[in-house]
């Protein structure tokens, strides 16, 4: 069922209904649980809001305050830097 939802072949509402639950009730419960966890600073590995690794931030030359230009390691090999 998870794959069908992720592939866009089935909605979450349809999947929830298949188990006999009301999707709006489930969504309200999830929202309430998430709010309570946030208020207490709780982070669960089952919470998809916290499973993403932050994207690397690229810096333009001298933005890092070092006074030197940033060099891309991939281009450094080809240019001999």
In this predicted structure, what is the pLDDT of residue 50? Answer: 84
Confidence of residue 9 (pLDDT cuts 50, 70, 90): very high
User: CB–CB of 21/11 below 8 Å?
Assistant: no
> Between these two residues, 5 and 67, which has the higher pLDDT value?
5
CB 4 within 8 A of CB 10: yes
Is the CB of residue 37 less than 8 Å from the CB of residue 47? yes
Residue 55 has pLDDT above 80, yes or no: no
24-34 pLDDT per residue, tens: 999 999 999 99
Residue 49 burial (10 A CB sphere; 0-12, 13-18, 19+) = exposed
What are 40-45's contacts with CB under 8 Å, separation 24+?
Answer: none
């Amino acid at each position: 069922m998870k794959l069908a939802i992720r592939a866009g072949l089935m909605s979450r509402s349809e999947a929830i209904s298949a188990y006999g639950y009301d999707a709006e009730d489930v969504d309200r419960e999830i929202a309430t649980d998430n709010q309570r966890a946030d208020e207490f600073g709780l982070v669960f590995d089952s919470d998809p809001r916290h499973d993403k690794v932050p994207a690397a931030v690229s810096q333009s030359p001298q933005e890092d305050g070092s006074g030197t230009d940033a060099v891309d390691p991939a281009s450094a090999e080809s240019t001999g830097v």
